[in-house]
Structure 1
């Protein structure tokens, strides 16, 4: 569903809320987000000049100890937002369909959002929700590699200390009948054995066919005994990939190319603190590139994700890792 389809299908806030209800409660059973009770009553609120920013379709929990009023946006990234849900849907479509990403400033101009801070908060909420919850382990043939973003400035005379580079680890399946060619990006604090081993254990099926990496020594220690038997390496300094050879990491490296072009071309500069959210965006867009339901999938994830508070987004006290 592209931007034109959204403008045709959704014209009122009620239609947007009905779509959210189908995504949040696909079985049709409405449950209270506070206590989980399914005994609820519907409250119909008539919109007026004084309630134009409030949701028209409300529910109230009938549990005596709860009595909570809620709507389809409660507990989602759309909660406590004064923007119309249609504006949110259009923003999701713009972020989802822009191959190399779209800046908050450009989204602000396209959608007529009042301030840059509002648009910036909106897109980071969307990126936060694009992360796949409880993803399936990668199967088949998996390539794994690392890259770096940012780093030292080339200017000779610089008053401020030079910033360290940010390390990104990527895993990508090769497309075949058993796998979908998915990719995953991880912003990691370092390339130590403990860090890489934890990623491998959580995200790669131990019964895969092969795992291909470069000759970085960390992989020899990070892979368990089962995966070590299926591990093959490529020495980029002396070898080139022979046509027809299956031992290479070109597949995962090609995803780095698109990622870097997007980060540099669309966003120019990305904060270390928010880097993982940008990786979530590029990961989702890549993995759902052939899907005809990518808008519905994105909105479904946003219905399962709690809103990201602005104070948390701008706070410096939260640890990066």
Structure 2
């Protein structure tokens, strides 16, 4: 039987898998069996050709090989539970992968690589790359569907805190104090986000700046034209809002944050979660890697109604068909 092109993941009892998750985080053989069950259910198949005519490779004593390889009778390829996932070719033990996925999916403000290093015994370099691959698995493959209904849009700035300049090193002209806009541009990274009130789903993207053309491109990517847009009073949104079914604003500059059902408080609540993670857990995030951390928080926020175990399984499933190499560009 050959099902080439079909999904390798087969339906299975999620509650049974969730019950095995704690043991998978502690024992290597249990972790391997957990990942195999999570990926294939009761019908292992070849990730290369989709054939289910496969068998476990054994050593001379008839026991399963230590690396737990499988062989496909259809195409002859050897593979493991890691093949075709973000964990492919990784030498990190399976139980450390299970622990990393569990912590990343269940920690409200995220978990740092140093924390993973302390609990697993991995080097910091390995723990950091492990967490980046998990964040890559959490990121939506195609960016997710465009949001519809009533959509709140806003931007925030993430990164270094403003510092006082000494008289010997003025920011601009002699005697001129740095403006808030200059400080934001030089020291912080802009992040644009939208949230649907109907579905509760959020989308967030790191931008090079908050100029009108970048905001418009982000809105076009994330928001359906049939949506009703809610923003603050920023000038750029006046033109952008004309392309949508409706556009309402609140004037933060006058202390107006809610007017009837017009508000951006939902997306601003998401920003507070992002900043708690960046400043409270990770402490320092480079501009180059910030989108990965945003993707991690976006995943947890969009799966917040799931139980911890179910959310962990969703994160692991998101890593299928993805590959992140250490040398890959950001």
The TM-score, its normalising length taken from structure 1, stands at: 0.80
Q: Does 1:88 align with 2:100?
A: no
Q: Distance in 1 between matches of 2:39 and 2:20?
A: 21
Of 24-33 and 99-108, deviating more is 24-33
Aligned position for 1:62: 74
Aligned position for 2:321: 304
Q: Distance in 1 between matches of 2:164 and 2:251?
A: 32
| Alignment CA distance shift 1:28-1:198 (3 Å) | farther
| Kept in 2: contact 1:61–1:69 (CA 8 A) | no
Aligned position for 2:285: 270
Superposed CA deviations along residues 274-302 of structure 1, whole A, max 9, x for unmatched, are: 00000011111111111132111111001
| Kept in 2: contact 1:172–1:181 (CA 8 A) | yes
Aligned position for 1:212: 230
Q: Distance in 1 between matches of 2:286 and 2:263?
A: 32
Aligned position for 1:237: 253
Aligned position for 1:315: none
| Alignment CA distance shift 1:211-1:47 (3 Å) | farther
| Alignment CA distance shift 1:9-1:129 (3 Å) | closer
| Alignment CA distance shift 1:10-1:272 (3 Å) | closer
Query: What is the alpha-carbon root mean square deviation over aligned residues?
Result: 3.1
Q: Which structure 2 segments of 5+ residues have no match?
A: 1-14, 172-182
Superposed CA deviations along residues 186-232 of structure 1, whole A, max 9, x for unmatched, are: 10112233322222222222223x2100111222233463x0x4111
Aligned position for 1:44: 57
| Kept in 2: contact 1:212–1:249 (CA 8 A) | yes
Q: Distance in 2 between matches of 1:91 and 1:154?
A: 35
Aligned position for 1:184: 203
Aligned position for 2:141: 133
| Alignment CA distance shift 1:38-1:171 (3 Å) | same
Q: Does 1:71 align with 2:88?
A: no
The TM-score, its normalising length taken from structure 2, stands at: 0.78
SS at match of 2:263: coil
What's the offset of the Cα at 1:245? 1.5
| Aligned 1:24-35 pairs, distance under 5 A | 24-25=39-40, 28=43, 30-33=45-48
Q: Distance in 2 between matches of 1:26 and 1:39?
A: 12
Q: Which structure 1 segments of 5+ residues have no match?
A: 313-317
Find the partner of 2:155 among 131, 138, 146.
146
| Alignment CA distance shift 1:199-1:61 (3 Å) | farther
Find the partner of 1:106 among 115, 122, 129.
115
| Kept in 2: contact 1:130–1:280 (CA 8 A) | yes
| Kept in 2: contact 1:32–1:61 (CA 8 A) | no
SS at match of 2:165: coil
SS at match of 1:147: strand
SS at match of 2:262: coil
SS at match of 1:120: helix
Q: Distance in 2 between matches of 1:6 and 1:37?
A: 26
Q: Does 1:97 align with 2:101?
A: no
